[in-house]
Amino acid sequence: MKNGKIVTLTLAFVLAIVSLSALAQDSVTVPKSRLEELERKEAELEKLKGDLNKTKGENVQLKKQHEADAVKITEAPPPVVKYVSPPMNSLPAIASGETVESMDLADHYRAEPAVADQRYRKHVFKVQGEIVGFEKTLFIKPYKILLKTPDRKTKVICVVQPPEKYSAVFTIKDGAELVGTIPQHENQSIAKVGDTVVIVGKCEGLSDSTIKMSGCELKSVR
C-alpha cells in the first residue's frame, strides 16, 4: 500500500515536470530591450522602403521633365546673332573697284543714311553678298538680284544687265534659280538662291528701305 502511494506521487511529479517543460517551449520570453531593438529595426526598414518608393517616383518625374526640356530645346529657334558692321567713321573714302559686303552696305544705310550717302551714293564699286531672291519683269532683259542684309526691312537690289549671249533670262524652280537662254543651246544656269556673288555697279542710295545698285554686272558666283 505504501509502495503504491510512492509510485503515484512519482508519476505526478514526472507529469508536472513534463507539463512545465512543454509550457516553457510554447511561451518563450523575449527581453524588453531586444523587443525594442527589433521594433526599431522594423521601423527603419519601413522608412527605407518609403524612401525608395519616393526616390523612384522622383526619378520618373525627373526623366519626364528631362524629356520635355529636350523637346523644348529642339523646337526652340536658334538665337539671333546681331550683325555688327565696322563704323563708317573708321573707314577711308571708298575707292573705285573696292568690294563692300551687302550686310555692311545695308547696316550703314540703316544706321546713318546721310553719312552712308556721302560714302556710297554715286560711286561705282563691287558689292558682295548672298543671294536671297530674284526679280524678273517679263519682256525686259535686265534682272534684279536681291542680296542678304541684317534687317529684312532693308533691301539691297542690284539691277543687272545680262551679257548679249543670252536672248532671254528667266527664273525656274519657283524663283530659286536664274537661267539664261542661248540660241541653239540648252538653258544655262546663271545663279541660285544661296550663292555668294560679286556684282559691280553704281550705288543710287536709299529709297523706301531699298538700296539700289544700277548698271550692274555679275562678276563671280560661288
| Mean pLDDT, rounded, for 11-30 | 51
Cell of 32: 524588453
Q: How far from the centroid of its chain's Cα atoms is residue 7's Cα?
A: 103
Q: Is 110 a member of any domain? A: yes
Give the torsion through C-alpha atoms of 72, 74, 79, 80, to 10 deg.
-110
In a domain, 198, yes or no: yes
Q: What is the pLDDT of residue 14?
A: 47
Overall average pLDDT of the 181-188 stretch = 91
Residue 25 has pLDDT above 90, yes or no: no
Average pLDDT along the chain: 83
Residue of higher predicted confidence among 164 and 32 = 164
Please identify, among 30, 56, 76, the residue that sits at the C-terminal boundary of a domain: 76
pLDDT of residue 8: 52
User: Is residue 53 domain-shared with residue 152, that is, in the same domain?
Assistant: no
Q: Sorting pLDDT into bands at 50, 70 and 90, what band is 70? A: low
Above 90 in pLDDT, residue 157?
Answer: yes
Strand partners, 3: none
Final residue of a domain: which of 54, 76, 98? 76
Please check whether residue 24 lies inside any domain of the structure: no
> pLDDT band for position 76 (50/70/90)?
low
What integer is the mean pLDDT of 6-17?
A: 50
Checking if the pLDDT of 16 tops 60, the result is no
Residue 190 predicted with pLDDT over 90: yes
How far is it, in rounded angstroms, from Cα 45 to Cα 53? 12
48 and 116 belong to one structural domain: no
99: region left, alpha or beta (phi > 0 left; psi from -120 to 50 alpha): beta
Residues 187 and 167 in one domain: yes
Most confident of 3-7, 38-42, 149-153, 212-216: 212-216
Domain around 51: 44-76
Residue 186 lies in a domain: yes
For CA atoms 12, 14, 17, 18, give the dihedral sign: negative
- Report the distance separating Cα 143 and Cα 159, nearest Å: 6
92-151 pLDDT, tens digit each: 999 988 999 999 999 999 999 999 999 999 999 999 999 999 999 888 889 999 999 998
Q: How many domains does the chain have?
A: 2
pLDDT at 36: 76
Both 118 and 54 in one domain: the answer is no
In a domain, 122, yes or no: yes
What pLDDT, on a 0 to 100 scale, did the predictor assign at position 28? 53
